């Protein structure tokens, strides 16, 4: 009987997901939806940001009318931050989130996470990075200890596997076959 192994996948893109204070009680449901959508959760952290930290995190929004309410809302309780990984992680996560205005999301994207968990334009339940570069910056902010080396993609990823991973695996498997251990497990 032949065992079918899934094709190995290289998760080439990361994004930051935040479960905001007002929906933290839905953490398990949201995490389940994330995993069912093909994401891997690389890092996860529960924390509470100060208003100053929120101001720094949302610095691009500074000067907008909603900025004071946003920082007050985001610092009002604990959040759960996660580094998500998969192919095209940023765009898939944005698609899962739906529009930032939860009221609009209920009309145009009724199955999106913001339609399901958000309350209004400000209290939309979840955060997602808008681009790969902002994801990297936001991940560094929330997870300062994270090592974010650029991950190879496309041909560079295949070259890396062929040059470093496959020869090592081949050498290891060859050595294992030559030894023929009595109890390989």
DSSP for 23-67?
Answer: GGGGHHHHHHHHHHTT-EEEEEEEE---HHHHHHHTGGGTTSTTH
Which two three-digit tokens encode residue 42? 């690389």
Task: Please state, in angstroms and rounded to a whole number, the distance separating the CA atoms of residues 37 and 96.
Answer: 9
Residues 137 and 70 placed together within one structural domain of the fold: yes
| Same domain for 112 and 39 | yes
Q: What is the value of pTM for the model shown?
A: 0.75
Q: What are 111-128's pLDDT values in tens digits?
A: 999 999 999 888 999 999
* CB 96, CB 112: distance < 8 Å: yes
Bridge partners of 45, per DSSP, are: 81
Residue 1 counted as domain residue: no
**In terms of domains, do 59 and 111 share one?**
yes
Tell whether 5 is covered by a domain: no
Range of the domain at 52: 13-142
Q: Does a structural domain hold residue 7?
A: no
pLDDT > 70? residue 5: no
pLDDT the model gives residue 9: 58
Same domain, 81 and 115: yes
Secondary structure E strands in 97-170? 126-128
The tokens describing 18, both together, are 């935040």
Residues 46 and 130 reside in one and the same domain = yes
Is 127 among the residues known to form the active site?
A: yes
- 40 and 106 in a single domain? The answer is yes
Q: Provide the 10 A C-beta neighbour count for residue 18.
A: 20
CATH of the domain at 121: 3.30.70.141
pLDDT, tens digit, for every residue of 69-119?
999 999 999 999 999 999 899 999 999 999 999 999 999 999 999 999 999
Residue 149 pLDDT exceeds 70: no
- Catalytic residue, candidates 127, 129, 135, 143: 127
């Amino acid at each position: 009987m032949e065992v079918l192994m899934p094709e190995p996948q290289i998760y080439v893109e990361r994004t930051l997901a935040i479960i905001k204070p007002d929906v933290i009680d839905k953490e398990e449901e949201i995490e389940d939806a994330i995993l069912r959508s093909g994401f891997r959760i690389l890092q996860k952290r529960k924390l509470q940001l100060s208003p100053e930290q929120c101001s720094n995190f949302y610095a691009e929004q500074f000067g907008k009318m909603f900025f004071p309410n946003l920082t007050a809302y985001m610092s009002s309780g604990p959040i759960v931050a996660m580094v998500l990984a998969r192919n095209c992680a940023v765009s898939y996560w944005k698609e899962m989130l739906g529009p930032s205005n939860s009221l609009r999301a209920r009309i145009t994207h009724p199955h999106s996470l913001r339609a399901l968990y958000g309350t209004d334009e400000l209290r939309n339940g979840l955060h997602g990075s808008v681009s790969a570069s902002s994801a990297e910056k936001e991940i560094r902010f929330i997870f300062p200890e994270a090592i974010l080396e650029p991950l190879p993609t496309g041909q560079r990823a295949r070259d890396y596997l062929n040059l470093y991973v496959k020869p090592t695996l081949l050498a290891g498997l060859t050595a294992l076959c030559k030894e023929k251990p009595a109890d390989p497990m």
